[in-house]
């Protein structure tokens, strides 16, 4: 089941006796735990009917024993077991001796008064292990993985619905370009926008442009887009805004250089017939970033990208050697990059 669907069920008071959260998206895991505890037991029961364990310090059999023990002055108890490293192919070396068969037995007949949560915050577990197979079969499994291109729009719209606001597809696209795929930032920015427009209203493009934060990587993308469109004035305006909030031109050069290197690699791999998915895997970037890179690289020639990277490196060297003022050097760099594009086109 998806992370959002699971949280919706919890908020409605619908719970499963056993949950299995697996993946590296920490924000999802924390949000699921919070939804479970907030809606599963009362605030006054946290001291008596909420148990939290670290499976790198406590055995799974001790956790199961707790789950089988009746709650204290309440109808339900929640047991959260973090860091189930015994599910990995190579568990951490410690003095804890886990007996997975105890959990397997519990999966067959869970206590009706307990909610047991097994958390494996790892990219991979050993799917060949019997305990992993039984967990996926007997527990409500929630994949806590970084957002993918195919589900990010759905997630953004769902978060907007939670805040009782709407936003058109154009704003969703802008949201993704500005914020990226970090779920924690998406939630934070959506809350800010929802408070601004008010419950029941639509988030317009002008609202998004006014309020959305601009992470560093997004700023680099904006600079690259300004260069693509030969818009020197816009590129300089972006630079000035960044300098006002303390961005160092050297850091900006590094960010823009990184973008141009990604575009160069994307062009090379595109010529070799790589798909978006293969490109993302090869460059170790998010699928959505891969999609944008493939789109942007089409605006450049191979020679142009290589020259841009060389120009960025030379400017970086001139600043660091003290031969040029940082701000002046960066403005000159933008002028040269855009002038070179105009000459080519």
Per-run averaged pLDDT (10 residues), the chain, 345 residues:
87 95 90 93 92 94 96 92 93 88 96 97 93 95 80 86 90 80 81 90 88 60 76 82 73 83 93 90 77 85 91 90 86 86 64
Q: What is the pLDDT of residue 206?
A: 87
What is the pLDDT at residue 243?
72
N residues, the chain: 345
d(CA 215, CA 221): 10
- pLDDT of amino acid 237: 82
Q: Which residues have C-beta within 8 Å of that of residue 245, sequence separation ≥ 6?
A: none
Cα 22 from Cα 86, distance rounded (Å): 13
Architecture per CATH, domain 3-143, reads as 3-Layer(aba) Sandwich (3.40)
The whole-model pTM stands at 0.61
Q: Under CATH, what is the fold of the domain 149-211?
A: Helicase, Ruva Protein; domain 3 (1.10.8)
Structural element, H or E, at residue 120: strand 114-120
**Distance in angstroms (rounded) separating the CA atoms of residues 157 and 160:** 5
What integer pLDDT is reported at residue 284 of this predicted model?
A: 78
User: Can you give the residue ranges of every domain in the chain?
Assistant: 3-143, 149-211, 216-344
Q: Which residues neighbour 232 within 8 Å (Cβ) at sequence distance 6 or greater?
A: 226, 334, 335, 338
Contacts with 75 (C-beta within 8 Å, 6 or more apart), sequence order: 113
Taking every pair of Cα atoms in the chain, the longest distance, rounded to a whole number of angstroms, is: 78
How far apart (Å, rounded) are the C-alpha atoms in residues 201 and 164? 8
CB 29 within 8 A of CB 117: no
CA–CA dist 133, 123 (Å, integer): 16
CA distances from 317 to 219, 253, 300, 323, 325 (A): 22, 11, 24, 9, 12
50 - beta bridge partners?
78
Question: What CATH number is given for 216-344 in this structure?
Answer: 1.20.272.10
């Amino acid at each position: 089941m998806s992370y959002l669907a699971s949280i919706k069920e919890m908020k409605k008071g619908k719970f499963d006796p056993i949950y299995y959260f697996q993946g590296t998206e920490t924000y999802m895991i924390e949000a699921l735990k919070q939804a479970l505890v907030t809606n599963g037991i009362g605030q006054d029961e946290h001291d008596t009917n909420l148990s939290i364990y670290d499976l790198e310090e406590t055995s799974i059999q001790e956790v199961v024993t707790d789950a089988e023990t009746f709650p204290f002055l309440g109808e339900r108890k929640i047991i959260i077991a973090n860091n189930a490293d015994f599910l990995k192919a190579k568990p951490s070396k410690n003095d804890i001796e886990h007996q997975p068969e105890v959990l397997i037995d519990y999966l067959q007949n869970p206590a009706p008064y307990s909610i047991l949560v097994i958390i494996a915050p790892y990219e991979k577990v050993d799917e060949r292990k019997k305990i992993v197979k039984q967990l996926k079969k007997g527990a409500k499994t929630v994949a806590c993985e970084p957002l993918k291109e195919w589900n990010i729009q759905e997630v953004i719209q769902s978060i907007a619905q939670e805040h009782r606001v709407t936003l058109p597809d154009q704003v969703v696209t802008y949201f993704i370009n500005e914020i990226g795929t970090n779920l924690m930032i998406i939630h934070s920015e959506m809350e800010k926008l929802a408070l601004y427009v008010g419950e029941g209203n639509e988030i317009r493009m002008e609202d998004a442009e006014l309020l959305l934060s601009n992470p560093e990587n997004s700023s680099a993308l904006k600079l690259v887009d300004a260069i693509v469109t030969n818009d020197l004035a816009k590129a300089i305006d972006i630079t000035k805004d960044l300098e006002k909030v303390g961005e160092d031109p050297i850091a900006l050069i590094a960010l823009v250089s990184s973008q141009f290197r990604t575009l160069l690699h994307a062009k090379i791999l595109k010529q070799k017939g790589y798909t978006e998915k293969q490109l993302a895997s090869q460059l170790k970037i998010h699928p959505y970033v891969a999609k944008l890179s493939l789109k942007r690289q089409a605006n450049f020639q191979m020679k142009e990208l290589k020259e841009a990277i060389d120009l960025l490196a030379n400017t970086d060297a001139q600043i660091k050697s003290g031969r040029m003022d940082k701000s002046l050097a960066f403005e000159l760099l933008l002028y040269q990059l855009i002038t070179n594009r105009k000459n080519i086109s």
